[in-house]
Structure 1
Amino acid sequence: MSGIETVLVTGGSGFVGGHCIVKLLEKGYSVRTTIRSLSKKEKVLDMLKNGGITSFDRISFCEADLTEDANWHDAVKDCEYVLHVASPILFTIPKDENEMIRPAVDGTLRVLKAARDGGVRRVVMTSNFGAVGYSHKDPHTPITEKEWTDPNEKHLTAYNKSKVLAERAAWDFVNSHGKGLELVTINPTAIYGPALCKDMSVGFELLKKILDGSMRAIPQLSMNVIDVRDVADLHIRAMTSPKAKGQRFLALAGGEISLPEIANFLRARPEAERYNISNMILPNWVAYFGGLFNQQLKTLASMLKTSRNASNEKAKTILDWEPIATNEEAIIASVESMLNFEIL
């Protein structure tokens, strides 16, 4: 095994983490991954099998939690790189936003401190679009990596606030206390694509509500999309490219797509008889008015006003990255996964 570089991937049981491990193993790296409990080891191995991996002699596991100090120094030992993908996600809105923010910020600092002390060369951190574009006010100018979301932005969700504060903390730490540790951040938009297991990401839950009819009226909400395989590819390019040092990269396939557009093209799919997609469109005024009384509609109303005119030109130019999947192809891959895993 001498000469093979080892990469630590935090959160190996997650949607993005699993695909990063698959891509790294395909490229010949040795991979160590953190999971909160070693009881999840078999789940990760099954995910890798679903991703086409047949040999597991270059994958190892370490039990580590973002909220605890234990084992992080063991996790980074002898690693050349770290892909810090793990992030706490709560599927219900917390009463106290710090329930999500503190684990994200403190967990990121734990990983960076361990990486610095362990002699890691570079950390690639998974941030998100919410850390870049939610304070952009002009829909006619493209959103780029130069911008930052104001964490005090009105109606910013606890999740997006946690991501911007965690990324800010990461850059502050590396610039002040990194002692040569390199940092790159990847800022994906809505991540879709093929799942490696039946556990759904938040984005899949949104698709499921459209497909099974539980979303009775579809909001006129636009978003940017990226395939998870393209996200993994971008992480590895950012890990190895000398030009990536100290940079942020937006990850999106390109262009916007609205929920009604998604509903329309899924309604035209050959398997559409298996779906129960609503024909009703939710008028924007309903979201704006309802937001006065309902927190979910209040969040939706703020998202309707968010510009999605974002650019992926930096990743294409600096990292020679080209997405393999369009918005539609990434979404279709997600739907096919939900059918294969009998989620629908």
Structure 2
Amino acid sequence: MSQELVLVTGGTGFIAQHCILALLREGFRVRTTVRSLAREAEVRENLKTGGAQPGALLSFAVADLGADAGWAEAATGCAYVIHGASPTPSGTYATDDDWINPAVEGNLRVLRAARDAGARRVVLTSAFGAVGVGHKPMNRPFDENDWSDLTGDVAPYQKSKTLSERAAWDFIAKEGRGLELAAVNPTAVLGPALGADYSHSIRIIKTMMDGQPGLPRINSGFVDVRDVADLHLRAMRDPAAAGERFLAIAGQSMWFTEVAEVLHARMGAAASKVATRSLPNWLVRLGAKKDRRMKDIVPMLGVNMNATSAKARRLLGWDPRPAEEAIVATAESLVKLKLLES
């Protein structure tokens, strides 16, 4: 069992907390960053839901991606860094720069701190949004050689993920001084929620189970958060992962109507409100004129978002559970934690 110290940024995040759980199971000590120590108790309670009560094996450091303060101290003594923190702009109508600048600068702050502290490797939690958006229709699955085409119709969040990951690779090439980097690019991340603060992707399942009246014609890859955490640890430790990106998807992508079918088949009465009919594209476009959330999904209507995780399987021996299991685990956790509308 290792007693090495790993820094996990953004300890209040869904993926970050599952990475902390996986690291603790493997015997690592963990330090995690939060913007305020007032959230330490919440993080520890969520980890308890996930089966861990780490006590002194887990410590907290205050650091904000928008400022230099605290990062040098947070990285001190860490063998590895898992960088999952992602800035979220305040305000409903944030500009592209409100998304992009904090993401780029945040990545560079963490990489500088890791390099200066002598860490061996940083694993960056990037996103499928840096791989598979803005393209013309593809006749093959997306892979790690693909980068999102920012000349296409790309939402600000996806632009920020693309430009911040590119900035990270540029930093390593020019200023890394031996620091290694690996990136994990997950599709929609499902799996067991640990508390009321969960990922954007889990809202897909929650809104379905809460009775969303119809389903937009959207296709997405899915992956369980526990397998995403496992991939982060493999990317952290395996020599073959240095300098590589890894797409995280379980099997084939799915249409939302297929996800609804899984919920009906596996969740019984808990899925009684789940709609199975597709909303026509024209209706979604009409709604997008008034609802920003609907506007953001218009570019994805009818687009096949299939991708392949063959590289992670081949190089790192990664073997994720089926997407159906991730969907069911998500739904079961929402029921168990009473996070659904009654």
TM tier, shorter chain?
over 0.9
* Number of residues of Structure 1 aligned to a counterpart in Structure 2: 340
Q: What is the deviation of 1:270?
A: 4.6
Q: Which residue of 2 aligns with 1:145?
A: 144
Q: Which residue of 2 aligns with 1:59?
A: 58
Name the aligned partner's letter for residue 250 of structure 2.
A
- The SS at the match of 2:206 is helix
- Tell me if 1:161 matches 2:159: yes
Q: What is the deviation of 1:314?
A: 0.2
Moved more, 47-56 or 161-170: 47-56
Q: Which residue of 2 aligns with 1:23?
A: 22
- For 2:237 and 2:170, the matched residues in 1 are separated by 22
Name the aligned partner's letter for residue 339 of structure 1.
V
C-alpha change, 1:261 and 1:92, in structure 2 (3 Å) is farther
Q: Please give the per-residue CA displacement for 1:218-268, whole angstroms capped at 9, x wherever unaligned.
A: 112111000000000000000011111100000011101111111222123
Q: Which residue of 1 aligns with 2:279?
A: 282
In structure 1, the gaps of 5 or more residues are none
Q: What is the deviation of 1:272?
A: 2.3
Q: Is the 8 A contact 2:218 2:303 kept in 1?
A: no
Task: State the percentage of identical aligned residues.
Answer: 46
Moved more, 246-255 or 296-305: 296-305
Q: What is the deviation of 1:92?
A: 6.5
- Tell me if 1:134 matches 2:130: no
* TM-score between the two structures when normalised by the length of structure 1: 0.93
Q: Is the 8 A contact 1:129 1:250 kept in 2?
A: yes
- For 2:129 and 2:96, the matched residues in 1 are separated by 16
- Tell me if 1:71 matches 2:70: yes
Q: Which residue of 2 aligns with 1:220?
A: 217
Name the aligned partner's letter for residue 141 of structure 1.
R
Q: What is the deviation of 1:148?
A: 0.6
In structure 2, the gaps of 5 or more residues are none
Q: Is the 8 A contact 1:263 1:277 kept in 2?
A: yes
Q: What is the deviation of 1:196?
A: 1.4
Q: What is the deviation of 1:101?
A: 1.5
Q: Which residue of 1 aligns with 2:116?
A: 117
- For 1:233 and 1:284, the matched residues in 2 are separated by 37
Q: Which residue of 2 aligns with 1:312?
A: 309
- For 1:63 and 1:221, the matched residues in 2 are separated by 38
Name the aligned partner's letter for residue 104 of structure 2.
V
- For 2:336 and 2:216, the matched residues in 1 are separated by 27
Q: Which residue of 2 aligns with 1:177?
A: 175
- The SS at the match of 2:111 is helix
- For 2:63 and 2:39, the matched residues in 1 are separated by 12
Q: Is the 8 A contact 2:137 2:303 kept in 1?
A: no
C-alpha change, 1:4 and 1:15, in structure 2 (3 Å) is same
Q: Please give the per-residue CA displacement for 1:138-177, whole angstroms capped at 9, x wherever unaligned.
A: 43212110111123322x1111111001101101111111
Name the aligned partner's letter for residue 99 of structure 1.
D
Q: What is the deviation of 1:336?
A: 1.0
Q: Please give the per-residue CA displacement for 1:262-310, whole angstroms capped at 9, x wherever unaligned.
A: 1222123353256422343201343356657765444323112533121
- For 1:292 and 1:42, the matched residues in 2 are separated by 41
Q: Which residue of 2 aligns with 1:343?
A: 339
- The SS at the match of 1:219 is coil
C-alpha change, 1:212 and 1:294, in structure 2 (3 Å) is closer
Q: What is the deviation of 1:199?
A: 1.6
Name the aligned partner's letter for residue 215 of structure 2.
I
C-alpha change, 1:89 and 1:306, in structure 2 (3 Å) is farther
- For 2:17 and 2:229, the matched residues in 1 are separated by 9
Q: Is the 8 A contact 1:222 1:257 kept in 2?
A: yes
Q: Please give the per-residue CA displacement for 1:183-223, whole angstroms capped at 9, x wherever unaligned.
A: 1000000000001112232112222211111x212112111
Name the aligned partner's letter for residue 178 of structure 1.
G
Q: Is the 8 A contact 2:13 2:198 kept in 1?
A: no
- For 1:273 and 1:231, the matched residues in 2 are separated by 26
Q: Which residue of 1 aligns with 2:329?
A: 333
Q: What is the deviation of 1:60?
A: 0.8
Q: Which residue of 2 aligns with 1:5?
A: 4
Name the aligned partner's letter for residue 162 of structure 1.
S
* TM-score between the two structures when normalised by the length of structure 2: 0.94
Name the aligned partner's letter for residue 199 of structure 2.
S
